[in-house]
């Protein structure tokens, strides 16, 4: 598929349903992505050997957990599997998961009391909590990261180096602002046949200036190599991580 066409579809999905992807998905567990050598980090997935599953008690968390997305999460992961992986006390079913424009959804909050591990899980069937569709992390101090090397707080300039090509994204300062819409066929672009889509969203960082033209804003697409915003590579950073398992064919 043409990279720009694929990016437009992704951006359209974000704009219509915010955090709830609705593209075709396969129900198999997604393979781990290859992390470029320049951003290699220790491989990590939530342990699939959970004491709760072995003892029949779902209140104890696993002995060891690392936090990478998608990791052990897959389209068929539901509340029971989440309790086995993370411990029952770390899995909260909520009717108030945040969406765009003030909308709220029913889903699961992982680690609701721990900002470093909190994650929001959205489902195709929000009432029965079936068909995991999106896992979203927003906390600045999160320990979660994507398995392709992208992590919270990564500057736009670093993201471009990791991708190996310029990146296109929506302007900031609106509900869907900062969403990366096109990896331009770089290393971070979705691969054909991969059932998982990895997303990052940009936001202003602590160094962001309030001066005019410091970074792009508004409902338009911009490029990381736009000479009209020479500071944006340092002023914009990853402010949200997301993986999606789009589709409805396995419900």
| pLDDT tens per residue, range 21-77 | 333 333 344 444 333 433 333 334 454 433 433 434 444 445 456 899 999 999 999
- Other Cβ atoms less than 10 A from the Cβ of 230: the count is 11
Q: Is the pLDDT of residue 14 over 80?
A: no
In which domain, by residue range, is 148 found?
Answer: 1-23+38-251
Q: Is the pLDDT of residue 191 over 80?
A: yes
Q: Is the pLDDT of residue 142 over 80?
A: yes
- 216: CATH: 2.60.460.10
pTM above 0.85, yes or no: no
Query: In sequence order, which residues have a C-beta less than 8 Å from that of residue 49 and are 6 or more positions away?
Result: 62, 63
Do residues 59 and 232 lie in contact, with contact meaning Cβ atoms separated by under 8 Å? no
Does a structural domain hold residue 150? yes
Separation CA 93–CA 187 (nearest Å): 35
Query: In sequence order, which residues have a C-beta less than 8 Å from that of residue 52 and are 6 or more positions away?
Result: 58, 59, 60, 61, 62, 83, 84, 87, 88
Based on the structure, what is the number of domains in the chain? 1
Handedness of CA 54, 58, 61, 66 (dihedral sign): positive
Q: Is the pLDDT of residue 247 over 90?
A: no
Higher pLDDT, 247 or 66: 66
Does a structural domain hold residue 157? yes
Does a structural domain hold residue 84? yes
Separation CA 94–CA 113 (nearest Å): 13
User: Mean pLDDT over all residues of the chain?
Assistant: 80
Does a structural domain hold residue 203? yes
Higher pLDDT, 61 or 232: 232
Does a structural domain hold residue 18? yes
Average the pLDDT over each of 89-98, 181-190, 202-211, 231-240 and give the range with the smallest value: 202-211
pLDDT for 99: 84
| pLDDT tens per residue, range 92-123 | 999 999 987 788 999 999 999 999 999 999 99
For 22, half-sphere exposure in the C-beta direction (CA atoms, 13 angstrom radius) is: 10
Does a structural domain hold residue 30? no
Does a structural domain hold residue 66? yes
Does a structural domain hold residue 111? yes
Q: What is the mean pLDDT of residues 167-181?
A: 94
């Amino acid at each position: 598929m043409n990279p720009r066409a694929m990016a437009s579809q992704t951006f359209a999905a974000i704009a219509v349903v915010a955090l709830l992807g609705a593209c075709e998905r396969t129900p198999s567990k997604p393979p781990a992505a290859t992390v470029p050598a320049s951003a290699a980090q220790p491989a990590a997935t939530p342990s699939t050997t959970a004491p709760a599953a072995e003892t029949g008690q779902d209140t104890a968390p696993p002995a060891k957990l690392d936090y990478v997305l998608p990791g052990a999460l897959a389209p068929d992961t539901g509340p029971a599997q989440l309790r086995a992986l993370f411990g029952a006390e770390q899995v909260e079913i909520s009717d108030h998961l945040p969406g765009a424009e003030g909308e709220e959804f029913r889903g699961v909050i992982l680690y609701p009391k721990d900002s470093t591990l909190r994650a929001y899980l959205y489902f195709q069937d929000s009432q029965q909590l079936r068909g995991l569709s999106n896992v979203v992390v927003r906390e600045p101090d999160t320990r979660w990261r994507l398995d392709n090397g992208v992590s919270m707080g990564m500057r736009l300039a670093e993201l471009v180096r990791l991708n190996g090509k310029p990146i296109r994204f929506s302007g900031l300062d609106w509900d869907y602002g900062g969403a990366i819409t096109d990896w331009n066929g770089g290393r971070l672009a979705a691969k054909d046949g991969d059932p998982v889509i990895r997303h990052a969203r940009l936001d202003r960082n602590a160094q962001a200036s309030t001066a005019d033209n410091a970074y792009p804003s508004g409902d338009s697409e911009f490029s990381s190599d736009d000479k009209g915003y020479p500071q944006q590579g340092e002023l914009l950073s990853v402010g949200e991580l997301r993986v999606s398992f789009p589709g409805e064919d396995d419900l």
